[in-house]
Structure 1
Amino acid sequence: MTMFFNKIGKTLLVILSIAFASNVAYKFYNKKKRKERSEINEVIMFSSGGSNLKQSKYTRFQISNSMDRLLHYLNSPRSSIDICMYVITSQDFANVILKLHIRGIKVRVIMDADMAFTSGSVIKRFHKYKIPLRWMKSTYLMHHKFCLIDTMDDVEKKSMPLVIMGSLNWTNQALNGNWEDVVVTSQKDLVRQYKTEFERLWLQFKPIVDLT
């Protein structure tokens, strides 16, 4: 009789162990899947004639799917957007940034000092609306092309910090003609390193206070 109960006890122990292990594995799998769904890792390619034009809710003009995806992310900030861009001449992108600024999103822009005055530059529009701008007059280029979304320290927890980086300048030629690449990611290590670089330049560069 004792042997019988011992066997039952061992069987129950095995069953309970399997059930516990299955439950742990199930929770781990679900946690992993939730993490995968919560991360953003997207590559956006721009190429001459590489995409049919489409209607977009972000502009009244027909645009490529690549530009639509990029505008989707640029319209997503809930707290802040920091832009470090060699040159900006795209009025579509300027309109997005100005709308964010008017909505109360914290906007900061770093640009190359020489390219700030290139034909079609949006810097005067930004300056008119008192968007904080900085540059460094130098014989070298400020050649970065990246953008940080919702990386301020006081950002809402429900927001997902992003970095947008790649070869793309925010110009009509780059958006509609050149072969360019853009990476959008929420990977924390990458976001952190780009944020560190932006803050370093923001302290090092000088405010643009007079464009007359």
Structure 2
Amino acid sequence: MDWKSARFLLASTATVVVASQVAKKLCKYFFNFNKISHPEVVSDDACSEVFNIKNREINDVILFSDDVVRHTIKVPPNKDVTICESRELNCFKLIKYIKSARETLDVCMYLITSSEIAEQIIRLGQRHVLVRIVADSDMADTPPSQIKKLKEYSFIQVQTNNKSILMHHKFCIIDGPKAVKRKNILKAYAEKLNIHAQFMKHNVKQIKTKQNKGFVMSGSLNWSTQAMVSNHESVIVTSHPNIVNKFEKEFESLWVEDESAILSSL
């Protein structure tokens, strides 16, 4: 091989190597560019997914604030507390939590004026979620309260607190263990009274469903548009069993049992 041929071969090899490196860098550039240009592709668990529906291990803080902040902090032992601050996002999150009810929804709320939340409660009742609401007697009939509207539906149980002490709670319990157990007992009792239901129970294969873990939402927030749009408010959401249990006890202390109303709602 003469010198000219050797030089040509070396030049060709160098060109191929340089071209391959350039192509590699271009591919890397455009790949990263696409990731930057489409941030929604990157999973933002802190805000896109409020919680794991299946496991419902929830430790969340919803802050209604003027600033937009998205971050997650660690709480021992190895628990994530999600903080997402954006009024639009937080309204969506709040309703998503409420919509996640599968068996029961117990609400103890000083004021409910949000028509959007009232509609979600009605839809839950239509899906055979057992709904109980305790509201303050003075605020229940004050426009634009949604309590009167909710009372129109037989499958939603509403009671107003008539005690001399102000009912100023703002919490709800979703699929609380005691409430779910109560629902199952009442359902069994209703089926016992219904011969047709007994017949269907013996002739239709029963599907066992896994009970969802209950959780509670509590804070300064009334379920009102004014609070969600204009006020600085906070809501803590947790599935911690001890906390859920304490809120269930408080709800039961305010709820007056009425068997006839219960059975008609099943």
Q: Does 1:80 pair with 2:97?
A: no
* Structure-1 residue corresponding to 2:90: 66
Gaps of 5+ in 1: 1-36, 53-62
Taking the TM superposition and a 5 Å limit, the aligned residue runs for 1:15-164 are 39-47=57-65, 49-51=66-68, 64-130=88-154, 131-151=156-176, 152-153=180-181, 157-164=210-217
Does the aligned pair in 2 maintain the 1:51–1:64 contact within 8 Å?
A: no
- Secondary structure class of the residue paired with 2:256: helix
Report the Cα distance in structure 2 between the residues aligned to 1:39 and 1:174, rounded to whole angstroms: 27
Q: Deviations over 1:50-99 (max 9, x none)?
A: 359xxxxxxxxxx6111111111000011010000001000010010000
Report the Cα distance in structure 2 between the residues aligned to 1:42 and 1:141, rounded to whole angstroms: 28
Gaps of 5+ in 2: 1-54, 70-86, 185-208, 262-266
Identity of aligned residues (%): 40
Q: Does 1:199 pair with 2:252?
A: yes
Report the Cα distance in structure 1 between the residues aligned to 2:68 and 2:115, rounded to whole angstroms: 21
Does the aligned pair in 2 maintain the 1:84–1:198 contact within 8 Å?
A: yes
Report the Cα distance in structure 1 between the residues aligned to 2:246 and 2:125, rounded to whole angstroms: 25
* Structure-1 residue corresponding to 2:6: none
Larger Cα Rg: Structure 1 or Structure 2?
Answer: 2
Identify the range of structure 1 (37-46 vs 103-112) with the bigger mean alpha-carbon deviation: 37-46
* TM-score, normalised by the number of residues in structure 1: 0.70
Alignment-mate amino acid for residue 62 of structure 2? I
Change (3 A) 1:137 1:158: closer
Write out the 4+ residue segments of structure 1 that deviate beyond 4 Å after TM superposition. Answer: none
* TM-score, normalised by the number of residues in structure 2: 0.56
Report the Cα distance in structure 2 between the residues aligned to 1:118 and 1:171, rounded to whole angstroms: 13
Alpha-carbon RMSD across the aligned residues, in angstroms, is 2.4
* Structure-1 residue corresponding to 2:227: 174
Report the Cα distance in structure 2 between the residues aligned to 1:118 and 1:188, rounded to whole angstroms: 35
More helix by share: 2
Report the Cα distance in structure 2 between the residues aligned to 1:38 and 1:170, rounded to whole angstroms: 23
Q: Which has the higher contact order (CA 8 A, sep 6+)?
A: 1
Report the Cα distance in structure 1 between the residues aligned to 2:211 and 2:255, rounded to whole angstroms: 26
